[in-house]
Structure 1
Amino acid sequence: MHFLQKTAGIATIMHNLHPICENYTLDVLSEDDYTKFQISFIDILDKQVNALNYRIPSDYVEALCAETGMSASDAHRMLTVAHCTAVHHPRHHHKKQVSLGKESSVMADSAAPTRLWTRDYVFDIGVNFLVYSVHFLLMLWSTAYAIYTWNASISMAGLASGLFIVGALFARIPAGRFIDFVGRRKMFLAGTLMFFLLVLCYELAPSLEVFMLVRFLHGLSFGTTSTAASTVVAALVPLKRMGTGIGYFTLGVTMASAIGPFIAMNLTSAKEFTLAIEICAAATFLIFALSFFIKAPERTILPEEKADLHKISFDRFFSIKALAISCIALMAGVCYSTVLSFLGAYTAHIGITGIGATGFFLCFAATSFISRPLTGYLLDHFGGNIVIYPALICMAVAMGFIGTASTDAAMLIGALFLGFGYGTTTASCHALAVHCAPMHQVGVATSTYFVLLDFGIGVGPYTLGSFVPAFGFSFVYIAAGAISLIGIVLYYYLLARHHRFTRHQMDRDSEAKTIIAQRRQRFYEKRLAGAH
């Protein structure tokens, strides 16, 4: 099979040929492969070649020139356009594979998984669930503990709780960039170990200031652990089942958002602060133990990437391709933050203290849980539009019910809509952010998604909360609903109108990512064999 026969699959259908295609492909490709080459080449040539900053080794160019007869400049341009990182040359087809020693024993990004429900995947879901359960439990516990122990003001206790999110943000940005260089398993184990040890430090803090420092450091370990877990699961899930796989993975977060606060509210109301820490310590130790049994798929790092490791630029810490869909997650985070921060005060203010308040998060978790398998199926089989639009609409409806509620029933209806809207939006945006990125940038894409989601959750209470004194709580929830509707417009103009997440385009992207990853691995093995 010739080199050009493997370049299909990364752009929308185009019907006009570029001169390079006319000059070099008619005598090389079959009619079917020639059509595929048309599809993949022109759109990338016109729209992306100037935006890429990828170093193409000279031996790639030479091999392509030798096979096709094209000029060096055309070969370099084509390699840049196609995002290719290795040459598939006919003379390598029947060579006996060279033993590569220890390096070949590591699972690389070319080893695309074929099964979803593996032991590693199930263990990673369990770790993610426990991590977020501890996170949500301690968010409520830390506020009550600071007030009870040091008689802290509401604002200072809230700051102590919020420093955890600040720490997570500080960790996520470099974690996504360096996880493949450090090693996914190493970062995963280091994060879970620190997550366990820092839980033990809470009750040892002699002052509020030290307690705040522990909260910040614990947030760093949380950001590292959750980013590593999400990066690992993206490598464990088959590309064409990414929506389903990420959906079940994030289902743990939904369950944790109900279980963690429920335990915290019961223990803090009984002043059982030490018991809460003991539960968290047991959970975090189990997290650390489970992480030992997860075989995190590693990615081989090319010398060119190592040389660029210390270069600082925006696109090395944030995935440009995942930014747009992550902005939708940010807006969902802003909406949800109003519920996390103000629901207790709001329900007390409007006199809803019964089942509408106590059962809110249970209803929220129930619809999130029920809708998640369906969401993953629709995302995998029909694309992103069919889930994102209804989810954002449901979130706007939820904010409307909550903002105008005067009965328990209205509040619970809002919770049901919110569970579907927020749960579906975040799970889908997570899966689509991973889908947007090449396999070697999954860590950066995951980090980008979580940074913007956490930023939305963190900034929402401060921005919308400032309107409470002048306009009241109801205005905050109506404004949050408007933000959700703005998200619909933003999604259309940034993504949907360009057919970015149609089923056809997503299938082509998945095929291209697999081919590119295989070429990266073949090139790595070729270099390693030459070195030996």
Structure 2
Amino acid sequence: MSTFAKLTPRTQRNLGVLFTAGLLFWASLASLLPTLPLYVKSIGAPDDQLGMVMGAFAIGLLLFRPQAGQTADQQGRKIVLLIGISAATLAPVCHLLTQSIPVLMLIRAFHGLSIAAFTTAYSSLVVDLAPPENRGELIGYMSLVNPIGMALGPALGGYLQELTTYAPVFVMSSILGLISMTCAMFVKAPPVMYAPQDQKEKDQFWQLLISDRIRVPTITMLLVGIAFGAIATFVPLYIKDSGVGLNPGLFYTAAAITSFLTRFVAGKASDRYGRGRFITAGLLGYAISMLVLWQATDANQFLLAGAIEGFGGGTFLPIMIALVADRCQPFERGRIFGLFVGGFDLGIALAGPILGLVSNIVGYRSLYLVAACVAFAGLIVFMTLSSKSVADSFRFALGYGKDPYAVSKVG
């Protein structure tokens, strides 16, 4: 934490308030993870409709993500941050107003807006405030809001549901969002930086998407998003169907613990040793966790799969954000983050209906074999296409080469 101590008091305060808001935001969102699939199932939805409801979350992500990035660059990060937290505050209680599948899909799409706005603004703010030479370290520390929130939220939601009914869980989620928004009001965002006139034509959506520096990270995030969708949507149902007697919230808690421990060290190490080897390790962790889920037959194996998935996510996601931050200028950061993380959103959107159909045909167990293949595909894409050539990509992915697309200092 010596790096944090070297920051100015104003920056320390900003990061502290931002961290608290982020922690409460993710706890709010994660408190519904073990509850929502069971709630939708309880109102009579089959697996394919359940997948559609859960996948509709990503529709809001996909529709709003580009606008969130553009607004963050042009109007400032804070307004986008507050929009995201507002959606996270309102959406949970709206689930209690209907049992109609189409209406629940609309509510889920609105809820998806929350992550689109919040993660774009939060990541941009952290990178704005972080010194380039310590970027990976500070992103790693600030991204701890995700595993801590993902540890607290599901445990609270799962146990509250067991003690009461579904309604208090949704109300608790909204209250956590409201406290998060109160904290976010005190964030002091850096001033907006505008693109030079000769750069504006290069910043159009498709020009950014097809650029070498962004295309492969976006494709990799898409494939990881599909694997993550299998975790977020079907694990509670798989655990219940297997009859192992495990609270599904504990799966997410196990993932959050290892994700927390990993993020604490991986970001700083990536500043020193480069991003590639850590992204590769994270992708491998995702793939192995899906294979363990495929073979899981008791509670300990489910918890092991959660722990490995947490290692994968805790390594891959923050270091991939640092990689993309290395590859962009401040005036385009919001749009590029919006586009790049949009690949993850699309993966989640595809995971719900596609994997729901797979589960109807071959069952939950074989679904995770399919997810493992998708995660391995992401690993292959990164290891062969992340640099100027296949050979250079292998070297970079294994930590023996520099990132040719970096525009700022990176270890």
The TM-score, its normalising length taken from structure 1, stands at 0.65
Does 2:110 align with 1:217? yes
Name the structure 1 match of 2:22: 128
2:73 maps to which of 167, 180, 195? 180
> How many aligned residue pairs are there?
397
2:58 maps to which of 157, 160, 165? 165
- Give the Cα–Cα distance (whole angstroms) in 2 for the partners of residues 271 and 174 of structure 1: 39
**Structure 1 residues 300 and 318, CA gap change in structure 2 (3 angstroms):** farther
Does 2:179 align with 1:286? yes
- Give the Cα–Cα distance (whole angstroms) in 1 for the partners of residues 242 and 263 of structure 2: 32
Does 2:270 align with 1:379? yes
Contact in 1 for aligned 2:64/2:116 (Cα 8 Å)? yes
Cα deviations by residue, 1:185-210 (Å, 9 ceiling, x for unpaired): 33333443454455565556697655
Cα deviations by residue, 1:454-478 (Å, 9 ceiling, x for unpaired): 2222212433443334444333222
- Give the Cα–Cα distance (whole angstroms) in 2 for the partners of residues 472 and 225 of structure 1: 34
Question: In the TM superposition, what is the alpha-carbon distance from 1:156 to its structure 2 partner?
Answer: 4.9
Name the structure 2 match of 1:239: 132
Cα deviations by residue, 1:411-435 (Å, 9 ceiling, x for unpaired): 3322222211122112221221222
Contact in 2 for aligned 1:329/1:449 (Cα 8 Å)? yes
Contact in 2 for aligned 1:322/1:437 (Cα 8 Å)? no
The Cα RMSD (Å) is 3.4
- Alignment-mate amino acid for residue 141 of structure 2: Y
- Give the Cα–Cα distance (whole angstroms) in 1 for the partners of residues 24 and 329 of structure 2: 29
Cα deviations by residue, 1:30-82 (Å, 9 ceiling, x for unpaired): xxxxxxxxxxxxxxxxxxxxxxxxxxxxxxxxxxxxxxxxxxxxxxxxxxxxx
1:127-146 aligned within 5 A: 127-138=21-32, 141-143=35-37
Equivalent residue of 2:31, what SS?
A: helix
Contact in 1 for aligned 2:328/2:336 (Cα 8 Å)? yes
- Give the Cα–Cα distance (whole angstroms) in 2 for the partners of residues 486 and 206 of structure 1: 37
Cα deviations by residue, 1:83-135 (Å, 9 ceiling, x for unpaired): xxxxxxxxxxxxxxxxxxxxxxxxxxxxxxx7397121122222222222222
Does 2:343 align with 1:452? yes
- Give the Cα–Cα distance (whole angstroms) in 1 for the partners of residues 142 and 104 of structure 2: 31
The TM-score, its normalising length taken from structure 2, stands at 0.82
Does 2:367 align with 1:476? yes
- Give the Cα–Cα distance (whole angstroms) in 2 for the partners of residues 345 and 207 of structure 1: 20
Does 2:259 align with 1:365? no
154-163 vs 500-509, greater mean Cα deviation:
500-509
Does 2:235 align with 1:343? yes
**Structure 1 residues 281 and 396, CA gap change in structure 2 (3 angstroms):** closer
Name the structure 2 match of 1:426: 317
**Structure 1 residues 417 and 190, CA gap change in structure 2 (3 angstroms):** closer
Cα deviations by residue, 1:13-35 (Å, 9 ceiling, x for unpaired): xxxxxxxxxxxxxxxxxxxxxxx
Question: In the TM superposition, what is the alpha-carbon distance from 1:308 to its structure 2 partner?
Answer: 5.9
- Give the Cα–Cα distance (whole angstroms) in 2 for the partners of residues 454 and 160 of structure 1: 15
Contact in 1 for aligned 2:57/2:349 (Cα 8 Å)? no
Does 2:331 align with 1:331? no
Question: In the TM superposition, what is the alpha-carbon distance from 1:234 to its structure 2 partner?
Answer: 1.5
**Structure 1 residues 386 and 312, CA gap change in structure 2 (3 angstroms):** closer
**Structure 1 residues 381 and 460, CA gap change in structure 2 (3 angstroms):** same
- Alignment-mate amino acid for residue 400 of structure 1: L
**Structure 1 residues 395 and 199, CA gap change in structure 2 (3 angstroms):** closer
Query: Whose RCO is larger (CA < 8 A, sep 6+)?
Result: 2
Equivalent residue of 2:144, what SS?
A: helix
Determine which structure has the larger helix proportion and give its number.
2
- Answer with 1 or 2: which has the greater Rg: 1
Question: In the TM superposition, what is the alpha-carbon distance from 1:226 to its structure 2 partner?
Answer: 2.7
Equivalent residue of 2:143, what SS?
A: helix
Cα deviations by residue, 1:288-344 (Å, 9 ceiling, x for unpaired): 2222211111233257379869x9652367876223123222222222222222223
- Give the Cα–Cα distance (whole angstroms) in 2 for the partners of residues 171 and 508 of structure 1: 27
Equivalent residue of 1:359, what SS?
A: helix
2:333 maps to which of 436, 442, 448? 442
2:148 maps to which of 255, 260, 264? 255
- Give the Cα–Cα distance (whole angstroms) in 1 for the partners of residues 254 and 261 of structure 2: 11
- Give the Cα–Cα distance (whole angstroms) in 2 for the partners of residues 274 and 160 of structure 1: 18
Contact in 2 for aligned 1:326/1:433 (Cα 8 Å)? no
**Structure 1 residues 345 and 237, CA gap change in structure 2 (3 angstroms):** same
Question: In the TM superposition, what is the alpha-carbon distance from 1:172 to its structure 2 partner?
Answer: 0.8
Equivalent residue of 2:238, what SS?
A: helix
1:19-58 aligned within 5 A: none
**Structure 1 residues 169 and 138, CA gap change in structure 2 (3 angstroms):** farther
Question: In the TM superposition, what is the alpha-carbon distance from 1:358 to its structure 2 partner?
Answer: 5.9
Name the structure 2 match of 1:32: none
1:382-393 aligned within 5 A: 382-393=273-284
Structure 2: runs of 5+ lacking an equivalent: 1-5
- Give the Cα–Cα distance (whole angstroms) in 2 for the partners of residues 182 and 445 of structure 1: 16
Percent identity, please.
22
Contact in 1 for aligned 2:88/2:114 (Cα 8 Å)? yes
- Give the Cα–Cα distance (whole angstroms) in 1 for the partners of residues 95 and 133 of structure 2: 43
- Give the Cα–Cα distance (whole angstroms) in 2 for the partners of residues 249 and 405 of structure 1: 33
- Give the Cα–Cα distance (whole angstroms) in 1 for the partners of residues 106 and 352 of structure 2: 22
Contact in 2 for aligned 1:319/1:441 (Cα 8 Å)? no
Name the structure 2 match of 1:494: 385
